[in-house]
Structures are given as C-alpha cells and as structure tokens.
Amino acid sequence: MPGFLLHMGATVQCAHGGQAQPTVTSPRVFVSSQPIVTQAAPYTIAACPFNVSGAPVPCVTAQWVTAAVRVLASGLPVLLLDSQAICAPNGTPLLIVSTQTRVTGS
C-alpha cells in the first residue's frame, strides 16, 4: 500500500511510549530537508517504561519487517508510514506517530 516516506524527523515510539530513533539514515535521499530511513536500519529505543511484575523489561531496539516494495534508496527498501517493526526483547510493535506528508512510495 502506498504511504508517506519515513524520515529522520518522524516521531516513532514503542508501544509503551519510549522514543525510537534510527541508527542509520540514507546519505543521499532527503525529504523535508531530512534524510530518509531504509529497512536495513535498526532503531534504538530510549525511556521505555515497560516492566513485568515490577522488573523492568524495556524495549531496547527494533527491526523493521515490512517496507516499500517499489521504492529503494541505495538499493534498500525505504520505510513508509505503514511499515511494521518488532521491538526486542519483548516483541511489541513500533508506532509511527507522525512523518512528513509530501513524498509517498509503495
């Protein structure tokens, strides 16, 4: 499905509200003056408050499992607004709260 491309300035959170940021961005492709993100780049998660029975089990990293099928940057699929990721170590999803609204891909 078509969707807006994810960029460095997008707001992405784990299911518990921790803030997620890409570890690597595309050095050549920019939208809204910010680099886009590809599927290969894992995200790091900060300030995840998740705990089980009082023991902290925060989301630490996330890896994307779906991305664009037709749009590539440097040979890698780009991330879209509807892309999905799984957090480690607890398997919860990342939530894309907002991103740029000018460039779409599929």
User: In this structure, what CATH number is given to the domain that contains residue 83?
Assistant: 2.60.200
**Given this model, what pLDDT does residue 54 score?**
87
Overall number of domains in the chain: 1
Structural domain of residue 71, as residue ranges?
A: 3-105
Q: What is the pTM of this model?
A: 0.92
The residues, any chain, with a CB within 8 Å of residue 63's CB and separated by 6 or more, are 42, 43, 85, 86, 88
pLDDT tens track for 35-83? 999 999 999 999 999 988 888 999 999 999 999 999 999 999 999 999 9
